[in-house]
Amino acid sequence: MDESALPIHFFTIVLNGEPFIRHHIEEFKKLAFRWHWHIVEGVAELRHDTAWSVPGGGRIPNTHRHGRSADGTSEYLDQLVREHPQNVTIYRLPLDQFWDGKRAMVGAPLVNVREECILWEIDVDEIWTAAQFQQGRALFLRHPEKTAARYWCWYFVGPDLVIITRNCYANGRTEWLRTWRYRPGMGWAAHEPPMLVEPAGPGVWRDVAAINPFTQDQTEASGLVFQHYAYTLIEQLQFKEQYYGYRNAVAHWLRLQQALAQPLRLGDYLPWVTDQTLVSRVDGYVTPLLRLPAPP
């Protein structure tokens, strides 16, 4: 193919994505190359990749409306399609139906990805800039032998609290595989962690990212460190407490927000963090791309 025409196909799975969902299109609109955004909306059953949460009490919260978002996300997505019909595709099941796990959700757009491209996962609360997308694409153009890319991130555990250590919780060496060089015929073997595979012989599949990926240090050298607002709103903690079975997650998180000493050990506040991950206020580390309200 003509590498200069290499498009990016972004994909996002979402349920109740406000306010993060509104950031992405403004960055995509700045891109000078061809792109498409595939958005898969709805409830994922706790099956396959996410079945691990069930023994710990994980369950589907009653925060949806007939299997879709209840916070205005659905209406916003409808508006996006009306405004950008050539660049945005929404995937939904009929009302009151749930997706058969998250792997089914990420697999839904592939029927419409019929060309070689960069396939770029963006979780709804992962914030990138247009300049980073341009630089990431340029890396793949300069290195046609590369098959995927991993990234570091600034992982927020409060509106102004961020993880400052690496090789630890939420910032390990195997984390944040987000970009693949996609060719038709590839498919998802897993979503947690994501594993895109390609046929390597009759009945044989191989992990695309295991072939020749960019490392986190290589992508960081090009300014590709994104911001992940995973624990920044109380609604996120309420969802994680129920869906993933993180017992008393809201109470633990609120105590973290009130902590005065900095830096602090995250595991002293979130009991499911078992290593020496450190957290501090963002000042002096990173300028947030989003400004979110303080917790109640």
Predicted TM-score (pTM) of this structure: 0.96
The reply to whether 278 falls in a domain is: no
Domain that holds residue 17: 3-152+176-228
Q: Is the pLDDT of residue 109 over 90?
A: yes
**pLDDT tens per residue, range 58-99:** 999 999 999 999 999 999 999 999 999 999 999 999 999 999
The reply to whether 240 falls in a domain is: no
State how far the Cα of 169 lies from the Cα of 275, in Å rounded to an integer: 7
How many distinct structural domains can be found in the chain? 1
The reply to whether 45 falls in a domain is: yes
Interval 138-148 mean pLDDT: 97
Q: Residue 135 sits in a domain of what CATH number?
A: 3.90.550
The reply to whether 296 falls in a domain is: no
pLDDT band, very low/low/confident/very high, at 4 (cuts 50, 70, 90): low
The reply to whether 268 falls in a domain is: no
The reply to whether 252 falls in a domain is: no
Interval 228-235 mean pLDDT: 96
The reply to whether 84 falls in a domain is: yes
